[in-house]
Structure 1
């Protein structure tokens, strides 16, 4: 009962923040209006009903014991309030999508054929959606309440204590003096910041405010500058330990230990950034773009000046990997970061004010994720009570009963489609319930199948036409968001390729013997670099069309999970490099 009470209080809090900070009206995007306060009042009246009757609800048998009129009214009001908060914070598209799922639960019994279901009364639907753990107050909301907020709080405390500036300075010291320094600083700083924030949009707004103007000043086209930041920020949702909050949900849905997910995803996340970094380097060489003029400090000097920012991160990683205790790791990291700030400033009031400000900022950041998880719970509840997920999996099997590539392509397409304008956690919840079971039934390991969904849920942030990360970058770069999205997809093409690679090559997820892992890493690394070089048109020199075609063919062969294809790709790449050197 205590857990349920906590979830209702958390739901009331995120709805309140959503109603008081966002209106969903472009003409008046923020402000505390009378309707907003009315929605807040309605929220706490509904939540208050469940808090007052928490003990009675805990003792009743869901779907068996009758519900009172007050229960039905409070449950209906809460669903409507979640839908309105979704419209305001995430967008009308997701609210309409959820309404379609709810309509299917109500009217789906009138459909003929495989997609029809048994008649369901409104009382049954409300009971399942609100009074069980299979709907609104389900695993997704629990992850947002008990895990996501703590990590977001750690990121906010680290940022407020100077961690964001430290990551930027460290990135500038590492790569700022190279060709195309500002773009490389954007890639590295977004990776470092994204490992904690886990949100492509938040990463774009935070690091892009510095890196995009810096790239434009050096001579980068505005659209390209926005694309670099968008692709780099999107990868933050693929890097441990946060991974756009999807790793927490994935652990809860699959019962795979969180530490195992984080360790398995690390190698592919690094491969993603290697490919993006190389693509940026190739463009810098082609356009003869210089270094970042602000990169004056050395790496050692930056580390000496701000090494303490790495201490809470090290503690977090240690607890996650050694003890598989992510929430305790994040909590301890918050305490360590605050303690270090206190020791360095020796100003208790300043430290307390910084932590309080970070907590408020974390609540604002976590509210959209909490609302997304709540509305995802409504969808999951609709899917389970109607068995639509099972019907969808059967439909995939009917299209391709033995063709895993076809099922994977359909899963990727469905995930990208669901991801239009939605945050990564909500996309993952929907796609993992709808599409991932079909892949598992075809023999794909549970970890690989769900990580496949995580990748495409993340990549939807830069996929046209609704690319939320590209739209966020467009406001800073002053460029067409669709143009930014197209360029970002080219820079981050490896993000669309890697999921297919690790499904067929589990060694990329650190599954298998060391030799298999090394060989898979070498082949995939050479393949993604060759693909990036072919797309950008540079590898040690400007490439003509035939060279780009050969490189693309070699890269495709190297990433293919077939031994003879790897050998053929390696030979083709080696022969081309020898020919290039002689030429």
Structure 2
């Protein structure tokens, strides 16, 4: 093994530890304390925000070092180093809690930092970078490092990217002691918004929520052609809209759906790709949308209810595309229908499990009707109590399950918390050096003011940033790097930022670092690269629809009812044509010439050409009617 490959392996992400009794006890106590504390904050209990963020970051870093090894080669047992780093994390954040009053009375930048302030500030940044390396990888650490180095030496480089210059003390002051850096908007959203919804998903899952989604999906679509894959699409969409994590969705629902799809005739690669694509869509499907929508609301000032309503039609088009792809492929390859005897009716499932609708209706109502997303999350968690009481037998299992779900929720939010802390360091650097404006100007200049080229360049930046990172962290970085360039094109704020959310989400299936595809590959035992490329093909609409709503905001319910309805119908038929082209089937085999026609019609229907789309729309409907009728006549005369 070469020196370089050994170095890369040593810098790789760590593995989950097998905790010893002490580590297990500490992990449980800290997890419960954080869960209870931040649930109380979400429910309305007042705690100083700065102190709460220090506690959240300290707890997150401590748990990361307790639960994650230094790299893949390290033993999975606990070590003195892990306990030492966990202790340093606790002490560093405890210092800021204890010194909170003194720090709140000083004037940032103007009043000098003490020696201990600088020591603990540096310690905290180093710990965040090490936790980032262990949980996400060296790429994000390198990215943050580049920005930090730029802050220190950027005043000496000259040229358009030079800034006024600053020393180490000023940089630390800005990054740690103001609300524009480490303890800025990104970490706030992770602590006060993402956390409560992840906790809701963990509790709901632990008390049978994932099983309910699977059963109701099975009842609704299991009897159809390709029913096993349609169950995967519907159940993954429902679960993903609550969990908001593509990887968690794949692992949770995919463990059921992927083997079922393979058993009924889908190839391993196809089954895993369908699951990865369906799970990824949860990050753009209201009500939770992978929590990036809450960050978007904080960044833009747009109410969350407005964002969720705007995202509804594009999200439904996304799932229509995946569902149609499954249906066409199953019809083309004659996939066997699932065993009808094991599929319950929807009425039976709802009669047995109606109680699961209480938290789901609560969360949907609360996030849309209340202008307090964190309180909505707390209400949703409280609404699971009837589920606990009615569905847990024996009742004595309620408390152990609840404790386990709190621990699960904390473990799921660790990566997001660390990523948002790292993103805060980047955002702080951008704000104090005005690098945001420089990068935006550079993107605009590189594209020479070309509308499509500027958007495409921004999309490329978002997808690269999204390699292996949680959706909220990708959005936090891209919102300050790419959004200004998009808005400079006179694109409205809502479409510009929603485009970033979309491409931050689909980076989960975009090779080479497609985390959802890798998760699905581990279940299907198939090639992750093939799964990633096929998932992108199945979810092709996700790469098209953002460009559509950028130039036609009516797709986001911005405009008159006639505009919204017409643009939606055009996009719906365009999605059908695009999916049929890629699958090569629609009421029969689709030849090369038909594929070209479908592609051309899809592009016309997506284009902002007003009433000129009526002709291709009408002609395509007539053609589809004729093709469907011809297909049915052929089936009637078939000797089979």
| TM-score of Structure 1 vs Structure 2, range by shorter chain | over 0.9
Residue by residue over 1:152-204, the C-alpha shift from the partner in whole angstroms, topping out at 9 and shown as x without a partner, is: 11111111111110100111111111111111111111000001000111101
Change (3 A) 1:68 1:360: same
Aligned with residue 590 of structure 2, among 532, 537, 543: 543
Q: Verify: 1:410 aligned to 2:475, yes or no.
A: no
* Match among 478, 481, 487 for residue 431 of structure 1: 478
| Cα pair distance change 1:582/1:477, threshold 3 Å | closer
1:31, 1:212 → 2: CA distance? 32
C-alpha contact (below 8 Å) 1:190/1:207 kept by paired residues:
yes
Whole-angstrom distance in 2 between the partners of 1:255 and 1:535: 39
Match of 1:283 among 309, 316, 329: 329
Gap change, CA 1:346 and 1:201, over 3 Å in 2 = closer
Describe how 1:212-231 pairs up with structure 2 within 5 A: 212-231=258-277
CA contact (8 A) 2:207 2:392 kept: no
Query: What's the secondary structure of 1:134's corresponding residue?
Result: coil
* Equivalent in the alignment of 1:504: 551
Alpha-carbon separation, structure 1, partners of 2:306 and 2:622: 39
- In the other structure, the counterpart of 2:5 is none
Root-mean-square deviation (CA), in Å?
Answer: 1.6
CA distance in 2, matches of 1:449, 1:471: 29
From 51, 61, 80, the counterpart of 1:34: 80
Q: Secondary structure at 2:597's aligned position in 1?
A: helix
Q: 1:472 aligned to 514, 519, 522, which one?
A: 519
Find 1:351's aligned residue among 398, 408, 411.
398
Tell whether the 8 Å contact from 1:22 to 1:31 is kept in structure 2 after alignment: no
Contact 1:8/1:50, CA 8 A, preserved across alignment: yes
Match of 1:123 in 2: 169
What is the TM-score when the length of structure 2 is the normalising length?
Answer: 0.89
Q: How many residues align?
A: 583
Which residue is 2:102 aligned to? 56
Alignment of 1:74-153 (within 5 A): 74-153=120-199
2:67 pairs with 1:21 = yes
User: Which residue pairs with 1:573 in the alignment?
Assistant: 620
Question: How far 1:56 moved relative to its partner?
Answer: 0.5
Structure 2 distance, partners of 1:343, 1:489, is 41
TM-score (normalizing by structure 1):
0.97
Runs of 4 or more consecutive aligned structure 1 residues displaced over 6 Å after TM superposition: none
CA shift, 1:344, in A, is: 4.9
The 3 A distance-change label for structure 1 pair 220 and 3 is same
Q: 1:461 is matched with which residue?
A: 508
Question: Which residue of structure 1 lines up, in the alignment, with residue 222 of structure 2?
Answer: 176
Quote how far apart the aligned CAs of 1:346 are. Answer: 8.0
In structure 1, C-alpha distance between the alignment counterparts of 2:304 and 2:618, rounded to whole Å: 39
**Which range moved further: 416-425 or 485-494?**
416-425
Secondary structure of the equivalent of 1:109? helix
Q: Distance in 1 between matches of 2:248 and 2:83?
A: 27
1:234 aligned partner: 280
Task: Single out whichever of 270-279 and 97-106 deviates more from structure 2.
Answer: 97-106
Conserved in 1, the CA contact under 8 Å of 2:207 and 2:391? no
Indicate how the Cα distance of structure 1 residues 506 and 582 shifts in structure 2: closer, same or farther if over 3 A, else same.
same
User: Which whole-Å CA distance do the structure 2 matches of 1:316 and 1:12 have between them?
Assistant: 29
1:392 corresponds in structure 2 to 439
Unaligned ranges ≥5, structure 2: 1-46, 632-640
Which whole-Å CA distance do the structure 1 matches of 2:215 and 2:616 have between them? 39
**What is the CA-CA distance between 1:109 and the residue it aligns to?**
1.7
Residue 422 of structure 2 is aligned to residue 375 of structure 1:
yes
Match status 1:329 vs 2:376: yes
Alpha-carbon distance in 1 for matches of 2:315, 2:75 = 35
SS at match of 1:461: coil
Instruction: Return the alpha-carbon distance in structure 1 between the equivalents of residues 228 and 382 of structure 2.
Output: 33
Deviations 1:72-104 (A, max 9, x none): 010001000000100111111111111111111
Q: What residue is the counterpart of 2:290 in the other structure?
A: 244
Partner of residue 492 from structure 1, selected from 517, 530, 539: 539
- Bigger drift between 50-59 and 1-10 goes to 1-10
Tell me if structure 2 keeps the 8 A contact 1:89–1:368. Answer: yes
Cα shift readout 1:114-143 (whole Å, capped 9, x = no counterpart): 111111101111111101000000111111
Distance 2:399 2:109 in 1: 47
User: Structure 1 residues 574, 190: CA separation in 2 closer, same or farther (over 3 Å shift)?
Assistant: same
Residues 235 and 273, structure 1, Cα contact 8 Å, conserved in 2: yes
The alpha carbon displacement at 1:419 in A equals 0.8
**Contact 2:207/2:387 (CA < 8 Å) preserved in 1?**
no
- Contact 2:462/2:478 (8 A) holds in 1: yes
Show CA shifts across 1:368-419 (max 9, x none).
1111111100010011111111001111222346432221111111100111
Q: Is the aligned partner of 1:186 residue 2:232?
A: yes
